[in-house]
Amino acid sequence: MKYLKFVFYRSNILFLLSVSAGIALPQASAISIFLILPALMTIMTITPLRIPRGFFRRIRPLIAPAVQGNLMNYIILGNLIIFASLFFIREEGFWFGMVLVAAAPPAVSMLSLSKSFRADLTVSFAGFAGAYLGALLIIPLIGLGFLKYNHLNYLLIILVVGALIPLPLVLSRIIVEKEWDGIIQPHEGIIIDYCFFIVFYTIAARTRELILHWSSDMSVILTIAALTAFIIFFAVRKIGRLSNVAENKIISLLLLVTMKNYGLAGGLALLLFSEKVAFAALAFTTVNFLFTNWLKYTKIVVGRSIVAEETPPS
């Protein structure tokens, strides 16, 4: 029963449907492209509602976890993605897509996964918020660094990033402080899942021609996505255990260092750049889908903590 519930989880089905429909029936992307921005804004407003009221009133204890969030998400994961891409990605559009993925903040799903996996919620929430504040500096700098895209509208970058990061975060805090979150929370899962359907359907539809004319660079991107997720996971888990870090904190750090907001990266790519730039986000999303389900399988079906190492039978 647990296995069936795990396999047929709503978010799993909707993700597979979104990508399949995007490739098979891409025509609706002419409309859905205009829905990406409001869909992402909705996701980014509703997700932080999971952070409890009053969480940010005492700032000092949150500074260290916020710094750790930036360290895990940008310095470790982001730099590893860029470093690998420097050596193996040849086409400029794909390379820029990898840089945009590297600049993306943590995945919004890490907040719900933190509760499911019994992570240290202070580290998860503060690390998440700190990394999103860091993104306000990192994403515009990444855009300014690529002057070869001379048609780039830097004012548009600032406006879009502002609409997708600080504005939703502020709105979510207002909703929580006004106690309006109780109205939204019973429906938040459905709303977020269908908003992600719009985002990933559009990305898949717009990258359809690239997928049908597969190139070696695209295989390299998928390989980098898989290797970075699993290598970093096992490395950080091992270091955490050897350093006697609390298990719940290791789980928080693992989520921060392995999951980025690929929907945001893909949406920005389509809104500001091109289909080729958006492919990296779709590739990383696909790998992250498999990676996240492996973690859920370990926790829900096997019943073992994601930090626990398998021991051979005696």
- CA dist 220 and 280 (Å) reads 10
Averaged over successive runs of 10 residues, the pLDDT of the chain (314 residues) comes to 64 94 96 96 92 84 94 94 91 91 94 93 95 85 60 76 89 89 89 96 97 96 96 95 94 97 94 92 97 90 78 45
C-alpha distances (whole Å) from 123 to each of 115, 206, 249 are 12, 37, 7
In terms of Cβ atoms closer than 10 Å to its own Cβ (0-12, 13-18, 19+), residue 14 is: middle
The DSSP result for 149-165, as a single string, is -TT--HHHHHHHHHHHT
What is the reported pLDDT for 314? 42
Q: N- to C-terminal Cα distance for the chain?
A: 30
Instruction: List the beta bridge partners of residue 260.
Output: 106
C-alpha distances (whole Å) from 70 to each of 96, 147, 169 are 21, 26, 17
C-alpha distances (whole Å) from 161 to each of 31, 78, 150, 277, 288 are 22, 18, 19, 17, 23
Domains annotated on the chain, with CATH: 31-301 (1.20.1530.20)
**Stated pTM of the model:** 0.92
SS3 243: coil
What is the reported pLDDT for 16? 95
- CA dist 268 and 273 (Å) reads 7
What is the reported pLDDT for 136? 84
What is the reported pLDDT for 55? 84
- CA dist 198 and 195 (Å) reads 5
Residue type, 32: S
Query: What are 38's two structure tokens?
Result: 């409001």
What is the reported pLDDT for 265? 94
